[in-house]
Structure 1
């Protein structure tokens, strides 16, 4: 079965997304900047509604737009938001922290994965900022730290979906974690893309029409 993960902004889009066949929700605010964390109230209502329809909810943990290099105060905010997500019954978190030289920020990620305490953890498109030469090692690190999926476009979002690179990432992941393609995937092209990549899930704002 193909899992269509719908990237939504706020609660308002969730009922229609589920009616149209969403099998998982990625809950964001402010998609214009790539998604940030919603308020606690939105999180509570979204999780409640989605769970009534047997649809899991992944909560974006990102305190602001811009880069993925976070200071201690920002990490404290992110940790608090993870605790909220867990308390409210969210199924997982979507997060990504980098160092100024575009490598995974091991220390920050270990802290946030620890805070998630068994919830699913997805590393988001911050992955696409890593140098291609560093990505194989990054996948190994994420596998070792029980990260469930990597959300990736295979390259910069300004370019079309890089299917060749995504196929290579699927090969490198070798079933140890999921490669979740996203960015430019629609209800019209999702079947072809997932078939070519040999993956069973995909992500997008327009993935269920």
Structure 2
């Protein structure tokens, strides 16, 4: 059965998404900029509802909009937010850090991975900023550190996900079940099954992957 991870902005549509079949929640604020860390209150209420329904909840850890290159103060903010989310009992966190040359910020990631010990970790679509030919190496590095999954569109954000099918298949094959390659971006309730079948995956992600009332 296809697992649909619904990307929720705050609490508002979370109950409807779960009622309509969401089996995992990625909780964010500010989806118009790709998602930032939600407030403690939002995490607490969302987690209480999702837990009651038996649905895992992943919390975005991202201190601001823009790029994924973070200074020491921003990393401290991320670490504190992560630890607070962990205390609240979230199932996992969603994060990503890059260097100015669009490679994994290994030092920053090691620090956050250590703070997240015991949680699922999704490396978010910062992955798509990494050069395509280096993404295989990135999968190796992330899988060695037991990252749970990578969220990727398989190409630039302006492309249709169907344009990126072959690259996504190549990434999935390279991952070889060491971690989950989670396709997202442009996947809707209408095309989710088709995309999943084409890629041979059993998990997909999106903001429109579950019909909810506006």
Give the TM bin, normalised by the shorter chain. Answer: over 0.9
Rounded to whole Å, the distance in 2 between the matches of 1:177 and 1:187 is 25
Could you tell me which residue of structure 2 aligns to residue 181 of structure 1? Answer: 183
Could you tell me which residue of structure 2 aligns to residue 171 of structure 1? Answer: 173
**SS across alignment from 1:80:** helix
Question: What is the root-mean-square deviation in Å for CA atoms of aligned residues?
Answer: 0.6
Structure 2: which 5+ runs fail to align? none
TM-score norm. by structure 1 comes to: 0.99
Displacement of 1:164 = 1.4
Rounded to whole Å, the distance in 2 between the matches of 1:68 and 1:195 is 31
Could you tell me which residue of structure 1 aligns to residue 51 of structure 2? Answer: 51
Q: How does 1:24-103 map to 2 (within 5 A)?
A: 24-103=24-103
Displacement of 1:163 = 1.3
Rounded to whole Å, the distance in 2 between the matches of 1:187 and 1:172 is 27
Displacement of 1:208 = 1.3
**SS across alignment from 2:146:** coil
Displacement of 1:176 = 0.7
Deviations along 1:59-114, one digit per CA (max 9) or x if unpaired, are: 00000000000000000000001111110110000000000000000000000000
Rounded to whole Å, the distance in 2 between the matches of 1:115 and 1:84 is 10
Could you tell me which residue of structure 2 aligns to residue 205 of structure 1? Answer: 207
Could you tell me which residue of structure 2 aligns to residue 149 of structure 1? Answer: 149
